[in-house]
Amino acid sequence: MVKVGATYLGDSRCQFVVWAPLLDQVAVKISSSPNQSHILQQDSDGYWQVMVENVQPGDHYLYLLNNEKERPDPASYLQPNGVHSASQIIDHQSFPWTDHRWLGVALDDMIIYELHVGTFTSEGTFAAIIPRLARLKELGITAIELMPVAQFPGNRNWGYDGVYPYAVQNSYGGPDGLKALVNACHDQEIAVILDVVYNHVGPEGNYLDDFAPYFTSKFRPEWGNAFNFDDSYCDGVRNYFLENALYWYESYHIDALRLDAIQGIYDLGIKHFLEDLVDVTYEFSQQQGRKIYLTAESDLNDVRTIRTRDAGGIGIDAQWCDDFHHSLHALVTGEQQAYYQDFGKPADLEKAFKEGFVYSGQYAPHRKRRHGSSSTEEPANKFIVFSQNHDQIGNRILGDRLTQILSFEALKLVAGTVLLSPYVPLLFMGEEYGDTAPFLYFISHSEPELIKLIQRSKAEEFRAKGFAEESYDPQDPETFHRSQLNWEMQQSGQHQILWQFYQRLIHLRRTNSTLNKLSKKGLSISSCESEQLLMIHRSSEDGQVFYIFNFSDCQVEFEASLPTNDWHKILDSSDERWSGLGAILPDTLAPFQPLKIQASSFALYQA
């Protein structure tokens, strides 16, 4: 492995390393000596390097390629003036870390909070997040997951248009801003998961092709060009991304990665890039004595993604379980558009609850093919579940959250479904108090043609789905501002109650001796299609719990089939305390007792 980028060595010396196997000459021009250029030497693997003296952190630099083109560094650590300008030299040794005793958070203990730096606060910076950590901690959050922070064009973007995988977004606060946030998180025992995009780069500011064969034309992916992970010169591309992962662990103390859409990482070679990434991450973890986790978004429902390396799998620690989301969403909203047509029955959610993947090989009507493999053998901590996330909100035509779609009762119900599941729960920022801000698709490109193209394509989508073409303009700063959270909401009314309800659920999940075990063992479940009731019984060495979810919007009579025991209710979402319709389930349960449960509510008993 070869470390790429501009490594500041101290004493005004900097080592420049860049991969460009097909170029005839590479030189570096540095702002502190603008009339000079330093020629790099190429090794047999196509890496060029040079050590330059009289260089200071903060200096800007550009590579001069074949004496023709000036380009920022593909492994730039900071693009102080955006994607089209010079890179900046960063001293990664200088940050005053105070997390030396940090041991990380085990996957089983993670309550993940996904946040977008730009819209989480009105400032839109890493620094502005820090004062909010206490409140997240109070809620019970143990890990924040940052949407991508790699440098993207302009200062408004979800982050998936990043073009410098090593550069921390300048408008968010750059490298020092991110380090300060991670350090503050660790101080408060919160882990930091970083969303990284190894499947494509955005449409503006990508100069990788000027350096090396980073891309392949073998595949035609959904977004942009496919990275060359398996063809001629792939070793340099693989190194670039493997080193990128190590860079986040080492220079930023990142605790876990969330790998974006791994189905877009095309690799037909012997050892999939992700297997290399798992191995490299494992080695680093071993050296550090602290486990770094790899989590992934995947559209494949392929159990090999999460199966261990020893068992022949790729060995990703946990993957987002879209099937859980879709089952829950289709059930509570009744929506059947697009992929929701493959879901909607209580039995789907039951299978998601018990196994993880709902599609385990059967025909999926929306996909028009058989889909998935069985995940029954995989432990519960391999799945990350959610009722909302940036995509499931943001990809809706008007970016509306469940807050806009569901009753208050149903909002509590979905919270319970996620947080009482045996899986690793993830909340999307603002969900915990039912923020009403949409999460819209916002960009801030600088190329007029590209902006028009995106605007037209969005207008076309609005039209096709029967909405006004001018519903919103992705490039308009107002679109971004509308997506920012309304923190003041959580101080009052039902928002405040919802927040307290989430806090209570998280507290129960973390302290109840059965709920805090991420295990599918001892979980039995029964559903009733017509009545949309789900009854779940979980037992562990340390106790038993029983919960009933009513996904129908009317009261339901039922009889609980559960082992004779001393059952005490510990939570009822229809309680007046939670602004509910009023609890009608008894505080204790007797066998064969006829029971009634309020519409869109749930209750939790323990024995």
For 503-523, b where at least 16 C-beta lie within 10 A, e where not — what string?
ebbbebbeebebbebbebeeb
Out of 114, 297, 302, 323, pick the active-site residue.
297
Would you say the C-alpha torsion 354, 356, 359, 361 has a positive or negative sign? negative
Q: Of 241, 135, 243, 260, whose CA–CA distance to 193 is shortest?
A: 260
Q: Is 223 an interacting residue with respect to a copy of itself (CB under 8 A)?
A: no
Least distance between a copy of itself and beta carbon 528 (Å): 28
Q: Of 536, 531, 581, whose CA–CA distance to 558 is shortest?
A: 531
Coil, helix or strand at residue 164: strand
Scanning 87-200, the segments in alpha helix (DSSP H) are 117-120, 126-129, 133-139, 174-187
Q: Is 302 an interacting residue with respect to a copy of itself (CB under 8 A)?
A: yes
Q: Is 271 an interacting residue with respect to a copy of itself (CB under 8 A)?
A: yes
CA distances from 399 to 124, 127, 157, 199, 479 (A): 19, 26, 15, 24, 11
The window from 49-57, 201-209, 267-275, 474-482 that contacts a copy of itself (CB under 8 A) reads 267-275
Task: Return d(Cα 484, Cα 495) in angstroms, integer.
Answer: 16
Coil, helix or strand at residue 206: coil
Question: DSSP string spanning 14-39?
Answer: EEEEEE-TT-S-EEEEETTSTT-EEE
Among residues 100 and 369, whose Cβ is nearest to a copy of itself? 369
Among residues 239 and 444, whose Cβ is nearest to a copy of itself? 239
Among residues 16 and 214, whose Cβ is nearest to a copy of itself? 214
Q: Is 282 an interacting residue with respect to a copy of itself (CB under 8 A)?
A: no
Strand-pairing partners, residue 50, are: 16
Task: Return d(Cα 463, Cα 458) in angstroms, integer.
Answer: 9
Least distance between a copy of itself and beta carbon 307 (Å): 10
Task: Return d(Cα 92, Cα 528) in angstroms, integer.
Answer: 58
Least distance between a copy of itself and beta carbon 371 (Å): 8
Least distance between a copy of itself and beta carbon 367 (Å): 6
Among residues 97 and 363, whose Cβ is nearest to a copy of itself? 363
Question: DSSP string spanning 558-586?
Answer: EE----SS-EEEEEETTSGGGT-S---S-
The window from 79-87, 216-224, 337-345, 548-556 that contacts a copy of itself (CB under 8 A) reads 216-224
Q: Is 217 an interacting residue with respect to a copy of itself (CB under 8 A)?
A: yes
Among residues 270 and 468, whose Cβ is nearest to a copy of itself? 270
Q: What is the separation, in whole angstroms, between the first and last Cα of the chain?
A: 54
Query: What are the two backbone dihedrals, phi and then psi, of residue 599, each rounded to the nearest 5 degrees?
Result: -55, 145
The window from 66-74, 97-105, 228-236, 541-549 that contacts a copy of itself (CB under 8 A) reads 228-236
User: Contact letters (x/-) for a copy of itself, 357-376, by CB under 8 A?
Assistant: ----x-x---xxxxxxx---
Is 99 catalytic? The answer is no
User: Contact letters (x/-) for a copy of itself, 52-91, by CB under 8 A?
Assistant: ----------------------------------------
Among residues 236 and 399, whose Cβ is nearest to a copy of itself? 236
Task: Return d(Cα 508, Cα 515) in angstroms, integer.
Answer: 7
Binding test (CB under 8 A) with a copy of itself, winner from 63, 95, 172, 266:
266
Q: Is 233 an interacting residue with respect to a copy of itself (CB under 8 A)?
A: yes
The window from 268-276, 396-404, 537-545, 553-561 that contacts a copy of itself (CB under 8 A) reads 268-276
Is 350 catalytic? The answer is no
Q: Is 555 an interacting residue with respect to a copy of itself (CB under 8 A)?
A: no
State the Cα torsion 66-69-74-77 to the nearest 10°.
120
User: Contact letters (x/-) for a copy of itself, 308-347, by CB under 8 A?
Assistant: ----x-----------------------------------
Q: Is 521 an interacting residue with respect to a copy of itself (CB under 8 A)?
A: no
User: Contact letters (x/-) for a copy of itself, 376-415, by CB under 8 A?
Assistant: ----------------------------------------
Among residues 139 and 303, whose Cβ is nearest to a copy of itself? 303
Count of residues binding a copy of itself (CB under 8 A)?
32
Strand-pairing partners, residue 430, are: none
Half-sphere exposure of 408 (CA within 13 A, CB side): 17
Amino acid present at 180 = A
Residues near 283 by Cβ (< 8 Å), separated by ≥ 6? none
Out of 260, 409, 432, 572, pick the active-site residue.
260
User: Contact letters (x/-) for a copy of itself, 467-506, by CB under 8 A?
Assistant: ----------------------------------------
CA distances from 471 to 398, 403, 475 (A): 8, 19, 13
Residues that bind a copy of itself (CB under 8 A): 217-221, 230-235, 263, 266, 268-271, 300-304, 312, 361, 363, 367-373
Q: Could you list the active site residues?
A: 260, 297
